[in-house]
Structure 1
Amino acid sequence: MMIPLHRALLPAALLAALLAVLLAGCGRAPLPAEIEAVSMDAVQRGDEAAERRLHAWADDGIPVAERELALLYRVRHREDQARGLFLRAARNGDADAAYRLGDLERERAQDDGTNARAAQWYRQAAQQGHARAALALALLLKNGSGVPVDKAAAAHWLGVAARAGDAHAMFLLSNAYADGDGVAADPRRARDLLERAADHDYPAALQQLALVKQTGDALTPKDPAEADQLLKEAAEHRRSNARRF
């Protein structure tokens, strides 16, 4: 007789152990979400059984496991081992590992002033639709931070990040279309992107949209009451979402 297992009633460590047994028994590769759940137990709870399972998956060459083990090593300040695992995972197609390598290379660039290697890894991840990598690459290109300035390429990657749902990228791309910075000026598209960023509770977008509604313009009617509400929302989200943005 099969006894149903209710996840909410089981300790996390027992869940990890049961998951390992089930996966071993069925002979299938684990799903990314399963690997990340085991990784969470290893990182946050120090679960040794979960860590051993993570090592086994990484040894089997599963990119998500390599990346998650690298993140565990970073927490433990084992930077060389973390970098090696990120490299393996990125070369095996893991976009988030490539993004993390971009961050590592950008940290190293503080010594030599060039972000060429960081841009290379960000580009690899961004080409796979990784929103944070696309935004990071866009910022390097927009500001000329260790790479040549390329406003058109910056706008392109802001578009990739915006389409993937990144509110910061929506806001920056809105300004680019408003100013004709790297793209042809397009006030309507600029306003649409600003409103999308505000819909995502991005504080700077809420504040800028409030300023528009205080006076009104050809695209937006004057609405002081809504402007005041948007300013309140901007202040609240700036306090509550400091880490998110």
Structure 2
Amino acid sequence: MNNRGITWQEHEIEIIVSDYLEMLRLDLEGIKYNKAERNRILQRKLDRTKGSIEYKHQNISAVMDRLGLPSIQGYKPASNYQAKLFEILESQLQKGNLLEEISRPGEFKEPQTGIQFDSPPPINRYPKQIDSKIHHIARKYDAAKRDARNRELGEAGEQYVYLAERKKLLHEGKDKLADRVRWVSKEDGDGAGYDILSFTLEGEERWLEVKTTIGSIRAGFWITQNELAVSNENPDIYRLVRLFDFRRKPGAFKLKPPLRDHVNLHPTQYYASF
């Protein structure tokens, strides 16, 4: 019997999630695999159509995106997913060190020129309500907090931007400006409110705050009160540089203050005093 039109059962979701995560692991390690052949195997195992399996892969990509984790390229996120998919994916990510494995920044290729910036994603002023069970699981993962605590990922992103800014200036014959580029957060600590001191080709200063994620272009990030204050006080020279999909081929966009024009800012902490 073909299962077309029948709701996916828990054991079926477990099988396809396991297969997806194995493909993702291969993808992140740069190991080639045959998507079509794996789809055919799942068709026989689950008695589902090719299209049904591909759409479920897209659902899984949407959940990975929601968790701020990398997804398989080619399976565009489709957000109409069951809460059960979230639960099963969470369970399988906890096995062994899989979450840690796919969260590592990996070895990036040193940029040969300056960064090619994409347009930032459009802001969603009216985010839709999501299932409370899904919201609870997503909060446990808190992709932005995970990225903020991942010192290795943060330093790798800052190093990438530092090298790219120098390469940009050297490529244009601005050797003296390139020599003045500084990795401020590494040399002076985090108190400045930005990470990299760089320059435009015309010699104007740029203060670059770098936020790095292994997730997609829409992954959220944390910004400190100090970083926000410095950005508001120095809108002409401050830029927030967002690096995304850093595990594979880093993409980037930048935001010019005021940041609230580009992102939804949510207060998340309270100061308690007596």
| TM-score, normalising length: structure 1 | 0.30
The structure with the largest strand share of the pair is 2
| TM-score, normalising length: structure 2 | 0.28
Q: Which structure has the bigger radius of gyration?
A: 1
Structure number with higher relative contact order (C-alpha < 8 Å, ≥ 6 residues apart): 2
